[in-house]
A = this chain, B = another copy of it.
Amino acid sequence: MSDALLSRAERLDADDQLAKIRERFALEAPSDQAAGDAGVYLDGNSLGALPHGVAARLQDVVEREWGRLRIRSWDESGWWTAPERVGDRIAPLIGAAPGQVVVGDSTSVNVFKALVGAVRMAPQDRDEVLVDAATFPTDGYIAASAARMTGRTVRPVRAVDMAAEIGPRTAVALVNHVDYRTGRLHDLPGTTAAAHAAGALVVWDLCHSAGALPVRLDADGVDLAVGCTYKYLNGGPGAPAYLYIRRELQPRFDSPLPGWNSHTDPFGMRPDYEPADGAPRGRVGTPEILSMLALEAALEAWDGVAIEEVRRKSLALSDFFLECVAALVPDGLVESITPAEHALRGSQVSLRCERAGEVMAALIERGVVGDYRRPDVLRFGFTPLYTRYVDALRAARTLADVLR
């Protein structure tokens, strides 16, 4: 059985259109692991692997741009315009035309900008902010603050019910495109259309979808979106997040964080705030350039990669992993909480099992790195740019070994 699965995995890898992209990443083992065994990294949905080229680029940024050119680099090395330039590099991955995505600050800070901005653009008699009830927590905490500071109330609603729950009192709905815990993919076009039909705005959190599957912000008429860049986009630890503001809404975007970087004339040092046009309106203060330019270098791993092919492989990988788990893990020990249906699945598989924390520790000990979410969930992220079918098989086989 296992031999048949191995043959299948090897054949799938041999036929994989994206197989060569794996060479763009550093996937060596930690120095405390057995030489030659780099293990299996299935936590790219939390921190993406390192793309080759980042280290050399960062060295140049530090030694030449900062160390020698110093202040001149703000202009001459393109530091000042990096937030928009890197935003435009991300834009095609999320279905956005240029000029609508700006990079900087954390996801949490961008959720605050987006929600307050949305409330201010919504009809002013609308008193509620709907939040995905199973949201990654920071979105909920920030939504509560945004509502408190704009005199609205937050109402948690299941993401699957969001379209039905958006009503005449709704100013804005904040929804995760993919649930971080279950890996469930939510209905972006349908929920967006429902929000608009009800006269509300919608903010999408793309943290667990961008870079894993096609997102069509422009085509689907999304108002605002935020996302991180350190998961499927491989931008590095804590790499800056991004904010998408639909072009038509930009002139009305009234930021709660109107820093000098979003001023129409930042070096005019004018006492009154006058916001810039376009994507820069989403900026705040001076961006963290080293992290920003590491992200820019990391995004080169996407050169020539079609997101549709990423999606195809992502589903095939997670299908194959589920098949291996079903074949190798004794019945009843794990239960997938990730939808089997492709249209409802992101790019991770979440398995519920007893003593999940200990199980994940044992997996990591054996070189299979996923993560654990309390109280009982094992998460395995499938990052099609560098995950192979043999990796999925090994993960399932190791899981079976640990559980037996």
What B residues does A271 contact at CB under 8 A? 133, 137, 140, 156
Does A342 sit at the interface, judged by CB under 8 A? Answer: no
Q: How far is the CA of A230 from the CA of B46 in the complex (A)?
A: 29
Which of B66, B71, B136, B371 has a CB less than 8 Å from the CB of A369? B71
Segment 168-183 of A: residues with Cβ below 8 Å from B: 181
Chain B: minimal CB distance from A395 (Å): 15
Given known contacts A63-B50, A68-B30, is B290 in contact with A108 (CB within 8 Å)? Answer: no
> Do A67 and B286 have beta carbons less than 8 Å apart?
no
Q: A286 near B41 (CB under 8 angstroms)?
A: no
A278 — which chain B residues lie within 8 A by C-beta?
none
Assess the A285–B106 pair: CB atoms within 8 A: yes
A289 in contact with B238 (CB, 8 Å): yes
Is A257 among interface residues, defined by CB-CB distance under 8 A?
A: yes
A292 touches B238 (CB 8 A): yes
A109-B285, A260-B137, A286-B106 given; A26·B68 CB < 8 A: yes
Interface status of A268 (Cβ within 8 A of chain B) = yes
In the complex, which residues of chain B have a beta carbon less than 8 angstroms from the beta carbon of A50?
62-63, 66-67, 70
Q: Check if A153 is an interface residue, CB within 8 A of chain B.
A: no
A11 at the interface (CB under 8 A from B): no
Contact with B along A144-167 (1 / 0, CB 8 A): 110001100000100000000000
- Take A50-B66, A106-B284, A286-B228 as given contacts and tell me if A145 and B55 are in contact as well, using a CB distance cutoff of 8 Å: no
**A273-B63 in contact given A71-B47, A108-B285, A257-B109 (Cβ < 8 Å):** no
Contact B106 A258 (CB under 8 A): no
The 3 closest A-B CB pairs, nearest first, are A106-B285, A108-B285, A108-B259
Additional pairs, 19, CB under 8 Å, beyond known A72-B369, A106-B286: A43-B70, A47-B70, A47-B74, A59-B59, A62-B294, A79-B238, A105-B105, A105-B109, A106-B288, A136-B269, A137-B263, A138-B260, A144-B273, A145-B258, A230-B286, A238-B287, A238-B288, A269-B374, A290-B290
A residues near B (Cβ < 8 Å) are 26, 28-31, 41, 43, 46-47, 49-50, 54-55, 58-59, 62-74, 79, 105-109, 112, 116, 133, 136-138, 140-142, 144-145, 149-150, 156, 181, 228, 230, 236-241, 255-261, 263, 267-271, 273, 284-292, 294, 369, 371, 373-374
